Amino acid sequence: MNQAGKTVFFRKDYKAPEYSIEKIDLNFQLYDTKTKVTAISCVRRNNKENRSPLILNGENLQLISVKIDGNVLSSSEYILDNTSLTVLTPPAVFELEIVTEIYPQENKALEGLYQSGPIFCTQCEAEGFRKITYYPDRPDILAVFTTRIEADVEKCPVMLSNGNLIETGSVEEGGRHFVVWKDPFPKPCYLFALVAGRLSCVNDEFITSSGRAVDLKIYVEEKNLNKCDHAMVSLKKAMEWDEKTYGLEYDLDTYMIVAVDDFNMGAMENKGLNIFNSKYVLTSPETATDEDYIGVEGVIAHEYFHNWTGNRVTCRDWFQLSLKEGLTVFRDQNFSAEMNSPTVQRIKDVQILRNFQFREDSGPMAHPVRPETYEEINNFYTVTVYNKGAEVVRMVQTLLGREGFRKGMDLYFHRHDGQAVTCDDFIAAMADATGTDLEQFKNWYCQAGTPVLEVSSHWEADSSSFHLTVTQNCPDTPGQKGKNKKPFHIPLALGLMTENGKDLFGKNGCKTEILHLKEQKQTFTFTNIAEKPVVSFLRDFSAPVDVKTFQQDEELAFLMKYDSNLYNRWESATRLSASTILDVVRQLEKGTPIQFNELFFDGVLHSITEKIEDPALLALALELPPETALALQLDSVDPDLLFQGRTIIKRELATRFQNEFLFLYINNQEAGKYRISPEAMGRRRLKNCALSYLMSLNPPQDKFLQLCIDQFSKSANMTDTITALRLISHHPGTTRDALFTDFYRKWEHDSLVMDKWFAIQAMSSHENCLSTVKHLLSDRLFSMENPNKVRALIGAFSSGNHVQFHAINGEGYSFLADMILQLDSINPQIAARLVSPLTNWKRYEKRRQILMKKELERIAKKPGLSPDVSEIVNKSR
């Protein structure tokens, strides 16, 4: 227990389970007001000698009866409390029957069995199965599940569970029917799933490389049947990719996906029966943006890839979460890179890392990729476990090479198929398959914090040699002093370029060398370097580190134009624009007259007037870094000055290059039919980026406003429609109001589209934004019980509207605290995720610090605060 009286779990305390469960037969009887669950398990004691009690987890359950081998247990034979059922002296091998009653229609936490509208569905990861029946709810207990579901024929014509359908029939009781599903693969209970309701389905088929036919089914509400094509195509692409890339085939005869509107996260990889947030299934050109299309493809692939990395080989305990999540994110990123543009994909992956993970890693919730301790595991489904975890796997691939990595994956599956294992097991397979020493590399799993690299170099004309010195330091993180951390093994992808843009390395056509940084300070020497080279450092972001800028603006401007590594062109452009903005922020702070960094403007002009090779890359380079990312580079953030500085640069660019932006806007219009190819998406992105510059002019110009209105009213695709609406949202007035009303009328029947309507208003930089947001809380389409709505309105305001959320009157903070307190009693997981923008209060200037801290204190005081919110609030204050 900690000071707040909460139970704390430690990785070092892991113990193998006392009992195993070989199989479990579940019987669900679904009714309007309650569900009866009968669970019959075959239990076996692992340890022959000591006769320890059997401890089962259980929460919010109404226990009806417990039987062992058919005999009802008397109340003296077990102990029941709020979180467990303990059978005191069970035999060595026995059949355990437990009957419970649960109330899915009252379940607003969306964990366990709940209803999304009229549809029954489950979410068991991480610890939701204990809200269905008493069971040893831990991932290292693998059992064969058979599931019988019985319900009303009218209300639940479709009833699904994991595996294969083995029986159907009607029940004597009027108007009811049943199904029986059997999943032949032993699995942990977090992968259990049940769905029942009125659903329609889209069917397709995939023939595996060994020639087996797999039925593919996507279940949605009938009105959405025409929005499943892209999801289905994505699924088939993912199945093919996994065969081609890793030799991994699907293993059941059916693969089912169900879309529901109420879901805490993106989707869930339940064996053979994925359950998805409908946001990651449904698309159509009129309703989904390019980003949505890419998101659907990525999440469908992610959940599919879990079938091997997560399900066939699963986690021993929840501290190992990155074993499945880091690896699966790595796999879905590579898949998306191959389906779209590798450079664009890499940039987006790095943006997530820099804009969110670096922030987490520098704040009070920082934790290693494999955490040492937690209070509520749901709080550790983080960007660190997922995205930094993926970077760690990527570094393994960089160190071993693609072939070596594949050998490691093969060995990993060969050794561990059907097992629950650890991150160490994964690294051991990689090391053993290739004969590589990865001992030092493992520090990435146990040390939190973003390593900071400092680089210096000098070129010696006499000896034609070049020396590059790199130091690494890792900051303090909760419970780990930086000075006690061991150096990381860091792969540095390096290019050296001549002044006329040629690469100096050229072995086998590879212009990049991988250096191994293993010491705290190391010097790398290169010979036969006849002229002073320009350093292209950390190509493709070869490690999740923070490199202090060591190059002059001239060099960055050069790299931005000529680096043969396209990722690094973007990197240099971003460094240059960030430093240009932060320069202005510093001048605003001092009150000195503003002077611009002309090199930056020259670079931008060059990039928008040159022949455009890749519109998407140009758009990414022109989009200025968000305030949240810039804030990380300041010691004491004043959000008003930051916003002003960024706006000044944006306007200055727009003013100077109006004609060029207008030219880009006109020339990148899509001729002909709407497409979602990477090229078409790239052009839309560039066109809309140009429009966003034109719309940032001050005072606004009517002709550009008209362009924007025209785009809104003529566009037949949501990307263009919503961009126009977003750009206009920053300009209050009757035009703006009319467009929002228009949009509402047109889309009020489509919940996912309306999420965009809420989010855009919540992200308006206008100062009446918060009052609009408060007003929207009572819109009839808003609901605190729907996580997508909460994210769209409250989440968008607090984490997507830096300047208004941080308004100096503190009202943004107190609003968020009110919402968290209200949500805590409805859905603790969602409430806890909302706390994050308050946790980094130490980064802000004094007055805001006090205001933010005050709200954290106020939340902490709520009697009966959930463990989810409590952990984050108490670690942050």
Phi–psi pair at 803, nearest 5 degrees? -70, -40
Residues paired with residue 465 on neighbouring β-strands, in sequence order: 460
The two structure tokens encoding residue 633: 């580079």
The pattern of x and - marking residues 312 through 351 that bind Zn ion according to CB under 5 A reads: -------------x--x-----------------------
Find the distance separating the first CA and the last CA of the chain, reported in whole Å. Answer: 19
CA–CA separation, 427 and 824 (whole Å): 39
* Position 824 contacts ligand TRP (CB under 6 A): no
Q: How far is the CB of 380 from Zn ion (least distance, A)?
A: 13
Closer to Zn ion by CB, 182 or 416: give it: 416
Cβ-proximal residue to ligand TRP, closest one: 265
Closest to 856 (Cα-Cα) out of 810, 825, 790: 810
If 0-12 CB within 10 Å is exposed, 13-18 middle and 19+ buried, where does residue 683 land?
A: buried
Contact 105, 115 (CB under 8 A): yes
- Binding to Zn ion, residues 730-769 (CB under 5 A): none
Q: Does 267 bind ligand TRP (CB under 6 A)?
A: yes
CA neighbor of 275 nearest in space, from 318, 324, 218, 320: 218
Find out whether 88 and 63 touch, Cβ atoms under 8 Å: no
- The contact mask relative to ligand TRP for 87-126 (x = CB under 6 A, - = no) is ------------------------------------x-xx
Q: Please, is 647 exposed, middle or buried when counting C-beta atoms within 10 Å of its C-beta (0-12, 13-18, 19+)?
A: middle
Q: State the Cα angle at 166 between 164 and 170, rounded to 5°.
A: 130
The answer to whether residue 788 forms part of the interface with ligand TRP (CB under 6 A) is no
β-strand partners of 496: 535
CA dist., res. 430 & res. 412, Å (int): 7
Binder to ligand TRP among 94, 318, 381, 813 (CB under 6 A)? 381
Phi, psi at 531, each rounded to 5°: -135, 165
378 binds, among ligand TRP, Zn ion, none (CB under 5 to 8 A by kind): ligand TRP
Residues 807, 514: Cα–Cα separation, whole Å = 46
Quick note: the x/- pattern for Zn ion over 47-76, rule CB under 5 A, is ------------------------------
Cα–chain center distance at 9: 24
Nearest to 269 by CA among 119, 123, 377, 379: 123
Instruction: Using the minimum distance from each CB to Zn ion, give the nearer residue, 256 or 793.
Output: 256
Task: Identify which of residues 258 and 653 has a Cβ nearer to ligand TRP in the complex.
Answer: 258
767 is catalytic: no
Q: Taking CB under 6 A as the rule, does residue 265 contact ligand TRP?
A: yes
Residue 125, binding choice from Zn ion, ligand TRP, none, Cβ under 5 to 8 Å by partner class: ligand TRP
Candidates 259-267, 735-743, 756-764, 819-827 — which segment interacts with ligand TRP by CB under 6 A? 259-267
The CB-of-256 to ligand TRP minimum distance in angstroms stands at 16
60 has which bridge partners? none
- Residue whose structure tokens are 């939190």: 448
Residue 390 binds ligand TRP, judged by CB under 6 A: no
By DSSP bridging, strand 84-87 and strand 54-57 are: antiparallel
In terms of CB distance, is 423 or 538 closer to ligand TRP? 423
- Residue 472: which of ligand TRP, Zn ion, none does it interact with, CB under 5 to 8 A by kind? none
Distance CA 592, CA 609 (A): 32
Least distance from ligand TRP to the Cβ atom of residue 264, Å: 5
Stretch that binds ligand TRP, among 261-269, 585-593, 675-683, 776-784 (CB under 6 A): 261-269
Residue closer to ligand TRP by CB (options 128, 645) is: 128
Q: 268 is in the binding site of which of Zn ion, ligand TRP, none (Cβ under 5 to 8 A by kind)?
A: ligand TRP
DSSP, res 334: H
Q: Where are the beta strands (DSSP E) in 546-616?
A: 546-547
Q: What minimum distance in Å lies between the beta carbon of 445 and Zn ion? A: 18
For tokens 């002296």, what's the residue?
Answer: 89
Q: Out of ligand TRP, Zn ion, none, which partner does residue 265 contact, by CB within 5 to 8 A per kind? A: ligand TRP
Does 866 interact with ligand TRP (rule: CB under 6 A)? no
Minimum distance from residue 756 beta carbon to ligand TRP (Å): 22
Binding ligand TRP (rule: CB under 6 A), the pick from 303, 571, 855, 871 is: 303
Residue 269 CB, shortest distance to ligand TRP, in Å, is: 5
Torsions phi, psi for 377 (to 5 deg): -60, -30
Q: Reduce the DSSP state of residue 397 to 3 states and report it.
A: helix
260 binds ligand TRP, rule: CB under 6 A: no
Contacts of 756 (CB under 8 A, 6+ apart): 289, 718, 722, 792
Q: Pick from 473, 519, 466: which is nearest to 495 by CA?
A: 466
| Partner whose binding site includes residue 68, from Zn ion, ligand TRP, none (CB under 5 to 8 Å by kind) | none
Amino acid at 419: Q
Could you tell me which residues come within 8 angstroms of residue 475 by beta carbon, excluding any fewer than 6 positions away?
362, 449, 450, 452, 482
Q: Tell me the torsion sign for CA atoms 285, 286, 290, 293.
A: negative
Q: Which DSSP symbol is given to 794?
A: I
Contacted entry of ligand TRP, Zn ion, none for residue 750, CB cut-off 5 to 8 Å set by kind: none
Residues 696 and 731: their CA atoms lie apart, in Å, by 10
**Nearest distance in Å: CB 303, ligand TRP:** 6
Site string for ligand TRP, 162-201 (x = CB under 6 A): ----------------------------------------
Q: Which is nearer to ligand TRP, 434 or 866 (CB)?
A: 866
C-beta closer to Zn ion: residue 325 or 391: 325
Q: Is 268 in the site for ligand TRP (CB under 6 A)?
A: yes
Binding residue (CB under 6 A) for ligand TRP from 25, 150, 269, 360? 269
* Number of neighbours of residue 435 by Cβ within 10 angstroms: 8
Q: Is 325 in the site for ligand TRP (CB under 6 A)?
A: yes
* CB of 290 or CB of 325, closer to ligand TRP: 325
Residue 378 found at the interface with ligand TRP (CB under 6 A): yes
Q: Which residue matches tokens 């609406």?
A: 725
723 touches, from Zn ion, ligand TRP, none (C-beta below 5 to 8 Å by class): none
d(CA 815, CA 483): 39
What residues between 216 and 245 interact with ligand TRP by CB under 6 A?
A: none
Report CA 149 to chain centroid distance, whole Å: 33
297 or 325: CB nearest ligand TRP: 325
**Residue 310 or 491: which CB sits closer to ligand TRP?**
310
Residue pair 541/395 in contact (Cβ under 8 Å)? The answer is: no
**What is the per-residue binding string for ligand TRP in 121-160, x denoting contact by CB under 6 A?**
--x-xx----------------------------------
Shortest reach from residue 749's CB to Zn ion, in Å: 31
* Nearest CB to ligand TRP, comparing residues 110 and 431: 110
Q: Are 550 and 456 in contact (CB under 8 A)?
A: yes
Question: Could you give the C-alpha distances from 37 to 64, 96, 403, 829, in angstroms and in order?
Answer: 10, 13, 49, 25
Q: By C-beta, is 109 or 585 nearer to ligand TRP? A: 109
Marked catalytic residue, from 97, 303, 325, 623: 303
Closer CB to ligand TRP, residue 389 or residue 487? Answer: 389
Q: Which does 143 bind (CB under 5 to 8 A by kind): Zn ion, ligand TRP, none?
A: none
CA–CA separation, 529 and 657 (whole Å)? 40
Indicate the helix (H) or strand (E) that contains 145: strand 143-152
- The least CB distance from residue 328 to Zn ion, in Å, is 5
Residue 645 CA to residue 856 CA, distance in Å, equals 29
Residues at the contact surface with ligand TRP, assessed by CB under 6 A: 123, 125-126, 264-265, 267-269, 302-303, 325, 378, 381
Residues at the contact surface with Zn ion, assessed by CB under 5 A: 325, 328
Q: What residues are annotated to the active site?
A: 303
